[in-house]
Amino acid sequence: MNRRVVVTGLGTVNPIGNCVEDTWEGLCAGKSGIAEITKFDATNFRTKIAGELKNFDPLAFVTPKELRRLDDFIVYALACAEMAILDAGITIDDKNSERTGVIMGTGIGGLSTVEREEKVLLNSGTKKISPFTIPGVLANLASGNVAIRYGAKGPISCTVTACSSGNNAIGDAFRTISHGYADVMITGGTEAAVCPLTFAAFNAMRAISTRNDNPEAASRPFDRDRDGFVISEGCGIVILEELTSALNRGATIYAEMSGFGSTCDAFHIAAPPPGHPGAVRCMQLALEDAGMEPSDIDYINAHGTSTSLNDLYEIEAIKQVFGDHSNKLAVSSTKSMTGHLLGAAGGLETIISVKSIYEGVIPPTINLDNPDPGCNLDLVPHRKRKKDINAAMSNTFGFGGVNAVLVFRKFHE
């Protein structure tokens, strides 16, 4: 059984905006969400910049008691699930609860809770540890809390595949509906890793930007002068729905999801291999799953992290998959504006890809002042572009050599 799956609801909080509308407006304006770190004292860190949420009010989505008990990655998921469900106009009740599921991705889970409670343990002893520590740390508790809040009794899971977590979650949700195990899935990625341990560890790897004097220019995918990615926080959630269910409700359909590919490089814990053959196979599998040819794709939302090897090897992989058509593609990295949301990147970038199809606009790659000579495709520099997009691809690649690619197309009955 292969049933058609469509996108009917969107919800996000991220460094650009606290809703889809503000995010889309900011992206199309080429706005950067990167600034100095405020969530902790970064004085002694090599990196002092991040993509933090701005003016986000968690109490609009959770009670004060919940806020004390829940890690931020769970709060963000609850906020975005509420937005997406409202946007979809769907009601979860006794009639459909067992056919409604949740799959969320996160790369790290409740790391801030780990940091906080370890300090309590070391300074105050075992009796002062919160009983909500474990529920705040476990990666699957984003999915669990969303399911509990909305009574979603169908399939539930959590993908933890580093920076591909969001795409893997959405891909798994797509297959869950396509194969008949559910009719509606609440899915995406969430991450809240702006905390000292994250930055100390990535600094030790020499993986993140230290362009502290000019935060807005720090994330510069495909640019010759890039010096690493920028860590960000946030969440992106979409409602995937079986087509007949969506049509019967008269739902707004943003796009149809038509393909998913997942592969492993089996090469290195952090670095992609030259030419990125795992990414090549992943894009090919996603196209095959969608029943599409390379020439059918108009836009790729690239993984485009602003790291030297990823950017170059992703472009090489795109050229191999798309051949001559690669010169006709529009390819942009919105991480130039949002930074890298780690496990939430795929959730946010799915929303961006779907909005690009729905609105007929491609957000730009900002900070692309001096393109790397090897990154010589149409990377939509600096300014948005109006373009009729019939199909879009969203790439994510992560530590452990994991690759996950999604394909969306304009909806036609």
Q: Is there a single domain that holds both residue 223 and residue 362?
A: no
Q: Is there a single domain that holds both residue 271 and residue 226?
A: no
Q: Is there a single domain that holds both residue 143 and residue 9?
A: yes
Question: Which of residues 220, 249, 278 is at a domain's end?
Answer: 249
Give the CATH number for residue 308. Answer: 3.40.47.10
Is 163 part of a structural domain of the chain? yes
pTM for this predicted structure: 0.98
Residue 413's pLDDT is what? 86
Q: Is there a single domain that holds both residue 298 and residue 327?
A: yes
Q: Which helix (H) or strand (E) holds 394?
A: strand 391-398
Is 23 part of a structural domain of the chain? yes
Is 143 part of a structural domain of the chain? yes
Q: How many domains does the chain have?
A: 2
Residue 171's pLDDT is what? 98
Q: Is there a single domain that holds both residue 237 and residue 275?
A: no
CA distance 394 to 403: 11
- Residue 103 lies in domain: 5-249
Burial of 162 by CB count in 10 Å (0-12 exposed, 13-18 middle, 19+ buried)? buried
Is 255 part of a structural domain of the chain? no
Name the residues annotated as catalytic.
Answer: 163, 303, 340
Residue 298's pLDDT is what? 98
Question: Which of residues 187, 219, 249 is at a domain's end?
Answer: 249
Q: Is there a single domain that holds both residue 119 and residue 69?
A: yes
Is 305 part of a structural domain of the chain? yes
| Residue 342 Cα distances to 71, 303, 305, 316, 347, angstroms | 16, 11, 10, 22, 10
> How far apart, in Å, do the first and last CA atoms of the chain sit?
19
Residue 241 pairs in a beta bridge with 6, 184
DSSP string, 205-243: TT-B---TT-GGGS--TTBTT---B-BB-EEEEEEEEEH
Q: Which of the residues in the chain have pLDDT under 50?
A: none
Tens of pLDDT along 191-225? 999 999 999 999 999 999 999 999 999 999 999 99
Q: Is there a single domain that holds both residue 53 and residue 77?
A: yes
| Residue 2 Cα distances to 137, 259, 330, angstroms | 36, 11, 30
* CA 115 to mean position of chain CA atoms: 24
Q: Cβ neighbours of residue 237 under 8 Å, at least 6 residues apart? A: 10, 11, 12, 77, 80, 81, 83, 84, 104, 186, 187, 188, 190, 347
Residue 1's pLDDT is what? 62
Query: Measured on CA atoms in the order 308, 312, 317, 322, is the torsion positive or negative?
Result: positive
User: What b-and-e string marks burial along 370-381, b requiring 16 or more CB atoms within 10 Å of the CB?
Assistant: ebbeebebbbbb
Q: Is there a single domain that holds both residue 211 and residue 62?
A: yes
CA distance 344 to 236: 6
Question: Which of residues 199, 214, 249 is at a domain's end?
Answer: 249
Q: Is there a single domain that holds both residue 233 and residue 265?
A: no
Q: Is there a single domain that holds both residue 113 and residue 232?
A: yes
Query: Measured on CA atoms in the order 140, 280, 361, 371, is the torsion positive or negative?
Result: positive
Q: Is there a single domain that holds both residue 347 and residue 326?
A: yes
Nearest to 275 by CA among 184, 374, 154, 157: 374
Q: Is there a single domain that holds both residue 226 and residue 324?
A: no
Is 254 part of a structural domain of the chain? no
Residue 362's pLDDT is what? 98
